[in-house]
Structure 1
């Protein structure tokens, strides 16, 4: 359970209607299998001990007695399971029948949660047999001992802070005011749903969306186990559609019309972090709830769930294209508003032939089209110097031409050499002064050309560069509006590719493709044999790694050892452990050391869930210490040696 992960399971066992002996045996066998596989929370379908489709047999004394006998056997068997298990059965209390979820752990019946909302429409007529459950806690008896009975039950794990479980039953989730909402606000981080949801056309899509959306609204893990094959088919068919969701993402789901077990791991630390971050999600101590402790053995949770190596980039092509179009519009709309507000009639962009300046130019063209401004009002400035290659220079010129912008070339070689003489710098010493003098000269030219044309300097730097501080302070770090400031490098590439695929101009697409094929470089050092000699990722590390680190550290608030663990899994077969750890240390060191550059960023539009604007998502002191983060990584490195 290290790093807050807990393995869970949703189970649809084999079943025979009204055969509690058979069903109990199947539940015990499946629960043992799930527990042996490491599942710590296991949920079975609604009324699973009897079967959901017993109809008027629920009035039979023999069925009710047999169901309770089945529960007794499950409770006894649970002594051998290191898990919290939820099973469904009918329960008589004060001469009324209730549809309940029984919480079982280590040989004890911890509590009974009655169903609140009983469907009595269309194919359902539960109110014929059952009484709606009450939120208030009362007591019932099992094996001579009192057992809490009511919806307001929270099952709290003593060994894992934040692992608090609550239950609801089928229709409870489909109702306008699900009990799970109240449970989550009382502190539940995991909701289980014992369900018997029959199948009809299109229902599975709605069911999946319902479970995913509820887990997102409540920032929780949600386990949904539904009845399957074995229920009566007199009028209905049940598909055993089981789902495990976490904060809006479906981690696992079963193929319909098959019985079995699905597993995944919930990240309780991530859920707690999200709730801390969201100030409108206000958990509060609720005295109406009964907190019931349960115990689990503390052990390593083997991860089986996938972690995308590209958290900023949707894997599905359709989703990715929609996101790219949306981001381009957001960027362009932000720039449009700034132009209209300032009354500026031109845009000035330093165009290098690289990815970032290419994206900025594409956004500028889109903004000009929105305003009805001629694209010739975009002043695209190429400023070749010591590191400029023919390839990037050609692409900068051709891209400007294809987009209809105005090209201006200002060779800064002589100006930089004069500057070297003024400050007494040896031009053969290719140090940070050598590099940054070029970047600051370029920014000076752009600012002055903007003054001359009554325009705005459009920033080109992206989110990944800002996170690493890979920008020259008051050089490419500065602009009048930074359109790429919240776009990570891994997404910049897809935005440019999307534009190439959809622009309808074969020649422009060809130039954009060559830009995509060009190594990422600031081109501040002389080329070797006409080829780029300075590759950014050789110096600061692969951007796909840094974007992964950035997302999990900043968006999820995860500790370094956990970020490393997830990266190991996400990049298995791509980077070895030593490489991941090396660049993770670089990331933390640079992120903390370079905050001063982010503290004075120009304005720019936020496009995603992660941004570093000091006026928006990241309010961080420029002199914060990285010590405790690096200390954890040093300990991790020592363990790996």
Structure 2
């Protein structure tokens, strides 16, 4: 006889410290889970507070308000007769813990602290929390009086335990614990735990989802079991976008998958599963021997509610949910969707009335504009589907009156209200880039301004001449490299000043209220190399492409050209990347890759080796010998490129200290503020560079000896 039970997991668009909104979204997810017939509901990591509170987790108020929110959930009529796994921070014996609170019918069954904390890359959990480094150990926790008044309990179990119901047993795992080699789900499964929940705060990164999905599937593929994965979704106030994709897996097979990118605040994923399938899957003798001999026991906390229906009646119309094919987005789709959702969250929650983008006619600002266009497409699609919350947010952002009936019908109509672009030309700008910028703005419906700022550039140069009696010249006019660089930087920095001027006043010009968020458009490779002017128009409020490589941006534009039916994008793909900060002559046209001394593809390789594979100059050189020598580069050329990269990386590292907050999409991001903790004042790499040169000489010497030996054989 089968034991069918419906279980629910969810993705919630929580916002750090938004206790009212977070509470309402939690309760709404519980209502939807119950409406689907679920007997167990699991939510994201730290869902009461929002994951991204950061140093607010060091404040006592955050813990007080968490208990106050939990008290309201405990008492709420919609939150009864269902087992709930809820995430919030808890202080115990003067230590702060990242916890799961298991509740049922106005009672707290267990407080389960996180065993292993995420403490690298974007995560600094050990700055705020203490890991519960005592597996399977449980002690008593004294509940706050506000909770005791509701539950009648003075103390509850606190520690690494599991919940036993009349028909099954489930245990909680939290985010990072899934990614560790010695994961708790291994021992839980061996000890007879049949359902494992995982509450996560996992961010989107290009090409990352398959790794997460494989770990979730592997959690029950060898050991059997049912795995409920919950994740936060959206931007909760920081650089990260949490990409949802809640899942339910049975014995290694995915039976339910939520969306990875969505404008919804609440998404509940349910499945009907058969507990007998787990028991049959675990019938092998080898697993049984390990369970008896090697498995440590967990303390079981009794819960009165069965997860499966009582009685022996089998409903023929109620079936276990079938396995589904996991859906993966292409990297191009990820770029179109992830940063777009992040931008919408930022816009609707910041109180701003739209975006301002310096549109240069190059591929980077083009990609940024296309992400805004993708955002507008998503908003219109959800409005057409009847999403009242998205429509309400759109009306509020556009400063429509309460109770109005305005409904945007196209992405271009919405963009015309919230998206403002500007081509800031000089005498060094080409008619081609100016024309591309204008045509693109018209195609996507942006409010576009076209201006020349030569008078501003000349005013600054004249001021310098008046003060110093010296007039700098471009290199093509006989000036030095320093003069040339200074004259380029004047233009770049004035664009930043003008961007903020227009962002503040354009809504006023158009007869509306509020200000615009300035968007940056420096890609991750240029940031890594430092190929940008400090405090130029890369200095902005937020940057949707600051974590995306030039190579991926080109692929995204090629995808958008067909997917969004915008043939103008083809001209951006074929244009040579150029800053257009120097005069154009018959003999010289400025080129980004020539200026940098390396290609964008090479920069992506350097970035991965530096950050992901943790290479210094010498180890990077040795790895590139194996990669690039077969492609025709000599050891001497590889050495030159490696040294050049580290030289420019070091002298420009100070620019990373002021990078615009960017959407995190790539694991070699140079973001100094969180992700890439390295100094910004470097010495010359004398030691490793000398070792590289010595190695090149040795390789060349051996090659000469080999050639001499070949000659002698021929003779």
**If the length of structure 2 is used for normalisation, what is the TM-score?**
0.43
Q: Which of 1 and 2 has greater Rg?
A: 1
